[in-house]
Copies of this chain bind each other. A is one copy, B any other.
Amino acid sequence: MYAELIVEILNYVGIVAFAVSGALKAGEKDMDLLGFIVLGFSTALAGGIIRDVLLGRVPPANLMYIPYPATAIIASLVTFVLYPQVRRYRDVVLYPDALGLGAFAAIGADITATYCSTNRIESCWLLVITLSSITAAGGGVVRDILAGEVPVVLRREVYASAAAIGGVLYLALYPLGREIAMLTTIIAVTAIRVVTLLKGWELPRVRL
């Protein structure tokens, strides 16, 4: 019960941090008010929407359960109104963003594993890892495409791969119970993201 509450709180932390990152990108691209809202909304919620569509859970929860989109829209509006201030602290947002990445990865893994268990689907592991990553990193990809940029997660940072590792970890710990699996996933993904960020570590690239 405590575990559920923690996950839900971190989910809101993630929605706010992701929406702020989307709205900041809208500002960077000289978009108008609607651009701020759409990019904030998409960054925070598109990953979960794509996951739900791929699982046939429609209409997606992120469009139906009002507190989620409301939080994303309010965070986008605040970023619009206080743009210079929020922008100055954009590096600070990276830490709640890392927590959100962990929470989204854990929630994505948990929803998918529960779906497979309910529908008696076997060999579900690839789906769990893929949808865990999409839930966590899909919104950032949509943000970058809407901003006309090559998605940063494909180029530089340890971000989607941290989420994928989270999916693997969730699966490994699933036999110990969903709550342990989720909490460990959140801690591990957040830690990987923060450490690689501080150390400037990147995934390997090809030598030319």
Contacts and interface: CB of A to CB of B under 8 A. Distances in A.
A161 B38 CA distance: 10
Interface stretch (A5-13, A61-69, A169-177, A178-186): A61-69
A73 B156 CA distance: 19
Contacts of A205: 30-33
A60 B69 contact: no
A65 to B, nearest CB: 9
Contacts of A146: 141, 145, 150-151, 154
Contacts of A58: 53-56
A60 B29 CA distance: 33
Interface string A22-40: 0000110111111110110
Contact of A121 (B64, B147, B207): B64
Interface stretch (A89-97, A99-107, A123-131, A187-195): A123-131
B54 A56 contact: no
A204 interface: yes
Contact of A150 (B29, B55, B206): B29
A39 B126 contact: no
Contact of A203 (B32, B66, B130, B145): B32
Contacts of A59: 54-56, 121, 127
Given A32-B155, A206-B83, A54 B64 contact: no
Given A31-B150, A54-B60, A69-B126, 14 more contacts: A32-B203, A33-B161, A34-B153, A34-B161, A35-B154, A35-B155, A49-B54, A63-B130, A64-B126, A83-B207, A84-B206, A84-B208, A146-B154, A148-B150
7 contacts: A30-B155, A31-B155, A32-B155, A33-B205, A34-B153, A38-B154, A54-B59
